[in-house]
Every structure is written in C-alpha cells, then in structure tokens.
Amino acid sequence: MGLNVIMMGPPGAGKGTQAGRFARERGLLKISTGDILRAAIKADSPVGLRAKTLMHRGELVDDATMIDIVRERLLQPDAQPGFVLDGFPRTVVQAEALDRIVAERNNGPLVVVDVRVPEKELVRRLASRLICSKCGANAELPKAGEPAAARCARCGGELVQRVDDNEQVVLERLKVYERETKPLVEFYRDRPTFRIVNGAQGLERVAHELDTVIDDAALVGAKEAAAEAVKAVSPEKAARA
Ligand SMILES: [Zn+2]
C-alpha cells in the first residue's frame, strides 16, 4: 500500500528538509511544486507549455495548470510507492483536486502533517539564515552549542545574510502564509489523518515525531478506507459491524 503525505508548514519550519529526509528513508517520491513545474516546462509537455506561456506573460500559474502538472507527475510509475508533497496544495481548490487524484491512484490514504513553529522562533531562524554568495545554497543552521560555518558546505563560497530576511520582511511573509493556509488547515483539520507536529525542536526530535505521527495516521487512514470498502460492498454488514 502506498504512503501519501502532504507536509505543511511556514517558511523556516524546516519542512522542506524533513520532507526530503522522510521521502528518502521511505523510498517515496518527494515533490516540490517548483521542481515539477521546472521539469514540466523543460519536458515541453502540453501542460508545461501552458505554464511556460503564463510565466512568460508574467502571470502566475493558475490552479488548473498546477493541478494538471501535479496530476501528471503523481500518476507516473515511480510515484506508485507514494509521495511527499512540499508546497502543494496551496488552495482549497487544489486540495479538492488532490483528493480526486488520490482516489484515482487508489493507492493508500492521504496523510496531512502540519509542522508548527511559534512566530518568534521562525523570525529568529529566518533572520539568522545565511546563504552562499556564490551558489545560493542555504547554509545549515548550526547545532546547539556549535559555531556557524564560515564557508558554504557545497562549494566553499562565502556565506552572507539573505537580503530579504530582515525582521519586517520575515513577519510580512509569515502573515501572508497564515492568511493563505488558514482555509487549507480548516479543510483538513477534522480528518482522522491530519496531524500537528511541533517543529520548534531539534531536527532529530522533529524527525522522530514526524515518523511516529505519519505511521499512525497512515494506519488510521487504511482502516478507514477498509471500512468504507466494506460499506460499499455490503451496507448491511457495515451497519452490523
Ligand atoms: Zn556555495
């Protein structure tokens, strides 16, 4: 059975890192919308061309196009074991479409994890984030008690503070995130496969908590799906159970 995960969380919560790790460890496809958007454009697929035209006109890629790109990717064979989505869905329309795609794949429940970090901590993290002046890679946050690295781990370039990471900009970005994701959280909140994880801990603690809640939610989701299947085949039997 496939394992399908959505990872939500504000910028600075570390969900991209966690999504990558979880996908690697479980042999799942990690999908960030930026990556598959670029891939679709590069592959010149019909939907990729549509996105390219929009972007050339300076327009945002609309829900319908984004949904088609995600759908195309999720129905490919290498996505069969399951996926970890990072950055999708962003809207309720996209979330509804994703439910239909998951039903169409018919391979495992959809688990939604919201990685939460208090605003004060996010501001601290984002404002102290360094990037490489040469290759643009994010410098890793130093572990507690260790000094920050002076050079880029990837290319040895000099690390500098991101220009858009001052406190005001960070707060504004978080406000935009809150506003945009509130309807999404409401959309998923009452599902038995929705989980909240405390992202204000060390990387390893967060990883452990994520592993635990995702496995638990997947189990709950699978049981629910089995009960639904029984109901579909034999409503009387389900009523007796
Ligand atoms: Zn670098």
Convert the pLDDT of each residue in 156-200 to its tens digit. 999 887 766 677 888 888 899 999 899 999 999 999 999 999 999
User: Could you tell me which of 112, 116, 62, 63 has the C-alpha nearest to residue 83?
Assistant: 112
Residue 183 belongs to a domain: no
Is residue 25 in a domain?
yes
Residues with CB under 5 A from ligand 1 (ion): 132, 134-135, 137, 152, 154-155, 157
Q: Enter the tokens of residue 193.
A: 């496969």
Whether residue 98 has pLDDT greater than 80:
yes
Angle subtended at Cα 89 by Cα 86 and Cα 95, rounded to the nearest 5 degrees: 140
Check which CATH number belongs to the domain holding 84 and give it: 3.40.50.300
User: Which residue segment(s) compose the domain that 106 sits in?
Assistant: 3-118+193-223
Residue 17 resides in a domain: yes
Beta-bridged to residue 66, according to DSSP, are none
Most distant pair of Cα atoms in the chain: their distance: 69
Q: Which long-range contacts (CB under 8 A, 24 or more apart) does 128-136 make?
A: 129/12, 129/161, 129/162, 129/165, 130/159, 130/160, 130/161, 130/162, 131/159, 131/160, 131/161, 131/162, 132/157, 132/158, 132/159, 132/160, 133/157, 133/158, 133/159, 133/160, 134/158
pLDDT digits (tens, 9 = 90+) for 63-85: 999 999 999 999 999 999 999 99
Question: Band of the pLDDT at 241, cuts 50, 70, 90?
Answer: low
The overall pTM is greater than 0.85: no
Alpha-carbon separation of residue 121 from 12, 166, 187, 231 (angstroms): 9, 14, 26, 46
What pLDDT is stored for residue 145 in this prediction?
A: 63
The verdict on residue 149 lying in a domain is: no
212 belongs to a structural domain: yes
- The string of pLDDT tens digits covering residues 133-153 is 898 887 866 655 667 778 888
The Å distance, Cα 162 to ligand 1 centre, comes to 13
State in Å: Cα 18 to ligand 1 middle: 21
Report yes or no on 182 lying in a domain: no
Q: What is the pLDDT of residue 126?
A: 78
Assigned domain for 66 exists:
yes
* Residues designated catalytic: 15, 90, 129, 162, 173
| Rounded distance from Cα 187 to ligand 1 centre (Å) | 39
Total of domains in the chain: 1
In a domain, 112, yes or no: yes
